[in-house]
């Protein structure tokens, strides 16, 4: 459905995605897209790809304690960021190997 949001001047596309959760309950996502040439499948496919990036950022922030970094200079922050990204990538690889959620693996 095409429509407008209050405070945003351009028209937008609104998509409702209904899905089943693992526990059998039904979930509903309301997605918004500013590209009026997209169809339902393109928007939901892009969302699926983007969601994996969001989960990686959440894992990076939570499991690597990125927010608690004591670094102050650009060089030390850059070094620590590379280390955090490598550690989070390694955690993701271990979670795939052990068939566990990265958050559960980190707590274990």
Ranges of beta strands (E only) in 5-81 are 12-20, 26-33
Give, as one character, the DSSP assignment of residue 10.
S
**Rounded mean pLDDT of the chain?**
86
Whether 88 and 60 have beta carbons less than 8 Å apart is answered as: yes
Interval 40-58: pLDDT, tens: 899 999 998 888 888 888 8
Identify the three-state secondary structure at position 39.
Answer: coil
Q: Which residue has the higher pLDDT, 8 or 88?
A: 8
Quote the pTM value. Answer: 0.59
| Whether the Cβ atoms of residue 88 and residue 64 lie closer than 8 Å to each other | yes
The 3-state DSSP class for residue 35 equals coil
Q: Which pLDDT score, from 0 to 100, does residue 65 have?
A: 72
């Amino acid at each position: 459905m095409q429509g407008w949001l209050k405070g945003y001047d351009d028209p937008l596309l609104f998509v409702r995605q209904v899905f089943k959760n693992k526990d059998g309950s039904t979930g509903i996502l309301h997605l918004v897209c500013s590209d009026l040439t997209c169809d339902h499948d393109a928007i939901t496919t892009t969302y699926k790809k983007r969601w994996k990036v969001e989960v990686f950022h959440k894992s990076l922030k939570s499991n690597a304690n990125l927010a608690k970094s004591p670094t102050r200079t650009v060089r030390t922050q850059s070094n620590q960021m590379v280390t955090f990204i490598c550690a989070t990538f390694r955690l993701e690889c271990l979670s795939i190997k052990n068939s566990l959620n990265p958050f559960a693996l980190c707590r274990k």
